[in-house]
Amino acid sequence: MKSGKTIWITGASSGIGEACSYLFAAQGAKLILSATRVEQLETVQQKCIQLGAECEILPFDLSEIDRLEAISDKAFSFFEKIDILFLNAGISQRSKAIETHFAVDKKIMDINFFAPVKIAKHLLPKMIENGGGTIAVTTSISGKFGFPLRSAYASSKFALYGFFETVHAEYYDQNIRVVLVCPGRVKTNISYNALEADGSKHAQMDAGQAGGLSAEKAAKKIVRAIHSQKPEVLVGGKELLMVHIKRFLPGLARRMVRKVKAV
């Protein structure tokens, strides 16, 4: 299948973003890949080109909120359109609410919520002018229920649901579709890069993450969902049952979350 779509992926240097990049590349997409790590992005870029894609890289730091409109314009300028905007990049947390420095709360909200919002708000008019498009956003099952050691992270993911479900409702008639990508445990570096209470890196692969679904398997499900413009896709293993328990048995879900091992 040759998609011919122009796709901008943030968080493309590893994990879900990297794996999705290769699948889109094999479909003949035009790719713009972003992350903070230049060398890793260049490696992903070369593989995407080998797979048949036109591919540009655009390294930047999502926490630099004031630069994001200019960065978004740069991304758009590569191919003069963006059909699919995949806002995948994010950062997690491993600390209790009281112990977490407020600067860490703010950084997580900036990267996980305000940055995707600013990029989407800036590009939406261009996408609408070009006839519409798809915005895919990586949330989390932590955006479905509060979870120990994840107060800011869960808050940022809850907020993504509120904002992007609203975008879907407001601009549906202008051919804008939103796909909320909701991973459970996927084997990526997210726990390694998670922030401790003082802002330092967690710097270890948590057992739950290590035993999670591979990024490659997750990517296959995510790419299918994006192409079909599925409103939400749950990705993971047995931990996804908690989403359904929360919906139908919220009291039981709260008791289970209190007892769950958070790492």
Cα(154)–Cα(45) distance, rounded to whole angstroms? Answer: 31
Strand ranges in 91-148 using DSSP code E only, listed in sequence order: 133-138
161 is catalytic: no
27: which residues sit within 8 A by CB, 6+ positions away?
1, 2, 3, 5
Decide if 53 contacts 253 (C-beta within 8 A).
Answer: no
Q: Which of 153, 161, 171, 172 is catalytic?
A: 153
**How far apart are alpha carbons 66 and 63 in whole angstroms?**
9
Helix, strand or coil, per DSSP, at residue 55: strand
Beta carbons within 8 Å of 235's beta carbon, 6+ residues apart: 181, 182, 183, 184, 186, 213, 218, 221, 222
CA proximity to 181, closest of 90, 247, 105: 90
One-letter amino acid identity for 78? F
**69 CB-near residues (< 8 Å, 6+ apart):** 118, 122
Place of tokens 């703010």: 106
Catalytic residues: 153
